[in-house]
């Protein structure tokens, strides 16, 4: 209140000078990516499960057609002024997320629409997504995998 009513008026009385030329001093900005320019940008490394951690949020990256996996890649997380998040890898936008880290649905031809799988009834659009990973027996290439599971069952452990 004080700043708006008293300080600014006093400041303008003391330091105002008439312009030397008529018109506006503002120029149009040719950039189209101001949403990215005015964002907080942080670099993160993609985990092996194609996720990125930002604080207590995990951002899931959808598969891309131009690379098998982004695991190990350094991506940029953009925190926008409206609290949304965008993940980029070079010129590629990997995904957009709300402030909770949930993907934002985009109605484009190139992207599939995420569908929630309810417990009963027909699928409906929305979130949170429930991963449907088929359960299958793992064929472990580690020689200690079967021995470790046997030790857990019997309670006996051997130190090597």
Q: What is the 3-state secondary structure (H, E, C) of 1-32?
A: CHHHHHHHHHHHHHHCCCCCCCCCCCCCCCCC
In a domain, 110, yes or no: yes
In a domain, 14, yes or no: no
In a domain, 115, yes or no: yes
In a domain, 116, yes or no: yes
Structural domain range at position 69: 34-130
pLDDT tens profile 5-45: 889 989 999 999 988 888 888 889 898 889 999 999 999 99
Number of structural domains, the chain? 1
In a domain, 154, yes or no: no
Q: What is the 3-state secondary structure (H, E, C) of the chain?
A: CHHHHHHHHHHHHHHCCCCCCCCCCCCCCCCCCHHHHCCEEEEEECCCCCEEEECCEEEECCCECCECCCCCCEEEEEECCCCCEEEEECCEEEEEECCCCCECCCCCCCCCCCEECCCCCCCEECCCCCCCCCCCCCCCCCCCHHHHHHHHHHCCCCCC
In a domain, 20, yes or no: no
In a domain, 109, yes or no: yes
pLDDT at position 124 over 60: no
pLDDT tens profile 51-70: 999 999 999 999 998 888 99
């Amino acid at each position: 209140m004080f700043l708006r009513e008293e300080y600014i008026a006093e400041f303008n009385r003391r330091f105002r000078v008439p312009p030397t030329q008529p018109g506006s001093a503002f120029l149009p900005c040719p950039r189209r990516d101001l949403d990215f320019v005015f964002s907080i940008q942080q670099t993160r490394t993609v985990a092996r499960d194609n996720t990125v951690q930002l604080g207590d949020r995990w951002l899931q990256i959808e598969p891309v057609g131009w690379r098998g996996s982004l695991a190990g890649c350094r991506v940029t997380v953009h925190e926008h002024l409206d609290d949304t998040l965008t993940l980029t890898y070079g010129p590629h936008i990997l995904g957009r997320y709300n402030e909770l880290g949930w993907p934002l649905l985009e109605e484009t031809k190139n992207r599939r629409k995420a569908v929630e799988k309810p417990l009963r009834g027909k699928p409906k659009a929305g979130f949170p997504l429930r991963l449907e990973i088929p359960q299958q027996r793992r064929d472990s290439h580690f020689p200690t995998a079967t021995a470790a599971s046997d030790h857990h069952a019997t309670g006996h452990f051997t130190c090597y």
